[in-house]
Amino acid sequence: MKKTSESNVKKLEKNLIRRLSVPLHGHSTGFDYKHTTLHLWKTLTHSVKTHKLDLNFILRFLSSYNCAQRLILVHDLEFEYNYNLIDMVLEQPESPIRSCTLAMLIEPIELYVRDFHDLLILKLNDKSNSDISRKLVQIVLPLDNDDTQKFKETYKNLFENSIETDIEVVQGEKTIISKLLIQLLEGQRNEEPNHSLSATKLIAKKLSEGVEGGKPVIDYDIFIKIFTHDAFAQLSSIFDMYEDQYGYPIQVAIEHQCQSKIEAECFQDI
């Protein structure tokens, strides 16, 4: 029984190595991650003191491997030599090659998370009056419900704080933008490709009443929930009916519902 178990383990190891084997520079070869990590470490040792990386070399080096292999190399580099390549790349000045290198090292969700966090820190330390609200919305908007949950978990693991708390610290508690972002991050959007005609008519009518009366008719919390929980098909139906029935662009209704231009732009992006 023990021999059978050991044999199965060896088979799994061989299969894993075979799956991770790719042609490198035109030559088919096995993926010896220990040897490759050592080679990479020797090349990077000079950066330990200088904190300067040859990003061109790293990018060329990593491009020879597939995604799974790159992750193995990065993790083994940290495990064997206590060298965090991702952190070292992040310390470099922003540039296109830095972005490309990070894309090689980090899974897409983590890239989005780091970008989101960088914007929050930038705003927190920014003495100017620049607004990051729209950029934050644009980062989380393309995520489906499952990716949204992964986004929040990754943020928590990386920065040891809830993303909701950080949003409220930077954007203010109970502000419309904070509520919008937090609701988007709940990951509760209806993903079915259908819509309710009765709800469409009611919401379009309420939006029209807000424009005619010169003040919002829909409660802000309900307005946010419509934009963050309703299916995109439902939102599209509302916008189309409003424009067809009442003759105004939907942007007009959104602007009347919001308190500022940047708020309106965030909702319009949705």
H or E element, residue 182: helix 176-184
Residue 163 domain-assigned (yes or no):
yes
The pLDDT score that the predictor gives to residue 26 is: 38
pLDDT tens-digit profile of 203-213? Answer: 888 888 878 87
**Domain closes at, from 149, 184, 219:** 184
The pLDDT score that the predictor gives to residue 17 is: 44
Structure tokens belonging to residue 227: 């934009």
Q: Which amino acid is at 61?
A: F
Nearest Cα to 180, choosing from 214, 211, 139, 146?
Answer: 139
Cβ pair 174, 136 in contact under 8 A: no
**Domain closes at, from 105, 120, 141:** 105
Residue 69 domain-assigned (yes or no):
yes
**Are residue 47 and residue 71 in the same domain, yes or no?**
yes
pLDDT tens-digit profile of 214-239? Answer: 777 788 888 889 889 998 888 999 88
Query: If you average pLDDT over residues 193-198, what whole number do you get?
Result: 80
Q: Which amino acid is at 257?
A: Q
pLDDT tens-digit profile of 116-132? Answer: 998 898 888 875 566 88
User: Is residue 159 pLDDT above 80, yes or no?
Assistant: yes
- Total domains present in the chain: 3
The pLDDT score that the predictor gives to residue 51 is: 64
Distance CA 268, CA 254 (A): 7
Residue 246 domain-assigned (yes or no):
yes
What separation in angstroms does the CA of 201 have from each of 54, 111, 208, 245? Answer: 59, 40, 11, 9
The pLDDT score that the predictor gives to residue 4 is: 52
Residue with tokens 């990951």: 187
Phi, psi of 28, rounded to the nearest 5 degrees = -80, 125
**Are residue 257 and residue 201 in the same domain, yes or no?**
yes
Instruction: List the beta bridge partners of residue 22.
Output: 29
pLDDT tens-digit profile of 162-188? Answer: 999 999 999 888 889 999 999 999 988
Tell me the pLDDT band of 7, cut-offs 50, 70 and 90. low
Read off the CATH number of the domain in which 124 is found: 1.10.220
Tell me the pLDDT band of 256, cut-offs 50, 70 and 90. confident
Read off the CATH number of the domain in which 38 is found: 1.10.220.10
Distance CA 81, CA 25 (A): 26
Residue 122 domain-assigned (yes or no):
yes
Average pLDDT, the chain: 81
- Look at residue 223 and give its three-state secondary structure: helix
Distance CA 254, CA 248 (A): 11
Residue 22 domain-assigned (yes or no):
no
Residue 264 domain-assigned (yes or no):
yes
User: Is residue 32 pLDDT above 60, yes or no?
Assistant: yes
Query: If you average pLDDT over residues 36-59, what whole number do you get?
Result: 80
The pLDDT score that the predictor gives to residue 85 is: 86
Residue 114 domain-assigned (yes or no):
yes
**Are residue 254 and residue 201 in the same domain, yes or no?**
yes
**Domain closes at, from 105, 131, 164:** 105
pLDDT tens-digit profile of 63-74? Answer: 888 888 888 888
Least confident interval from 3-12, 30-39, 98-107, 258-267: 3-12
Query: If you average pLDDT over residues 187-197, what whole number do you get?
Result: 82
The pLDDT score that the predictor gives to residue 20 is: 42
**Are residue 178 and residue 115 in the same domain, yes or no?**
yes
Residue with tokens 């820190």: 121
Q: Which residues contact 213 (CB under 8 A, 6 or more apart)?
A: none
Residue 87 domain-assigned (yes or no):
yes
**Are residue 112 and residue 180 in the same domain, yes or no?**
yes
- Domain of 253? 197-269
User: Is residue 24 pLDDT above 60, yes or no?
Assistant: no
